Homo-oligomer: A and B are copies of this chain.
């Protein structure tokens, strides 16, 4: 099941049944950015703006469900805004359980140089729940034990690579990599390394596919329901659909809405 709703999620969420969603995974418009395209909420009004949406999200989420919120504070006059911290505090005041903060390390962050700061290379991924007990399927997101040699492992069977390794050194590198192949998988940490997508040209802030895939596998099973109230270019619900989850997307912008709609029409 794929359901697409066109409109402001503050209103459209009311059409969704209570306790019906297994995973909410979204990236709302950040404060005071992208004035001409999307949202454009000022930092000092952000918490107030998000409150009614947060309440609706709480209502529609199952007791075993999870809400993943992707957000990042921008710099205003040399200071990082505080609206994100205030938002988290406000959500806890409104019954949400703040279970964990994952870090999305963006490996290919923007270039640039300033006298007072380095490039911003990470974003928040807050995990909220309604209950201390919730569904979590850790075994479906296990990773290779030797993450750093993953790329080299891909080519380990290539004759040239093996030959080069053998001839180049006595380092034992080849042996080490082969031993990694047979090692058990390990659980990930709360730092997710992932580069930003460079494919999606039409949306200024689209997720790379890895992030939604990770959380959908971690927090839902097949035929569960995934919701993205700020669907944007639709990455989250496309991945959810691909992974045989039901999904609901809400999008305010007609162009983005049509893009997602067209995508699913094409696939029928």
Residues on A lying within 8 angstroms of B by beta carbon are: 34, 36-37, 77-80, 82, 85-86, 88-89, 92, 97-101, 103, 105, 109-113, 115-122, 132-134, 136, 138, 168-171, 173, 175, 186-191, 201, 204
Contact = CB atoms under 8 A, between A and B. Distances in A.
A204 B170 contact: yes
Given A85-B85, A103-B103, A116-B132, 15 more contacts: A34-B170, A77-B132, A79-B92, A79-B97, A79-B99, A85-B88, A85-B89, A103-B191, A110-B171, A112-B173, A113-B187, A119-B187, A121-B190, A168-B201, A171-B204
B34 A121 contact: no
Contact of A103 (B105, B134, B173): B105
A165 to B, nearest CB: 13
Contacts of A101: 80
Contact of A187 (B118, B191, B204): B118
Contacts of A36: 170
Contacts of A132: 77-79, 116
A99 B77 contact: no
Contacts of A188: 118
B88 A122 contact: no
A20 to B, nearest CB: 22
Contacts of A86: 89
B109 A37 contact: no
Contacts of A98: 79-80, 82
A101 B72 CA distance: 11
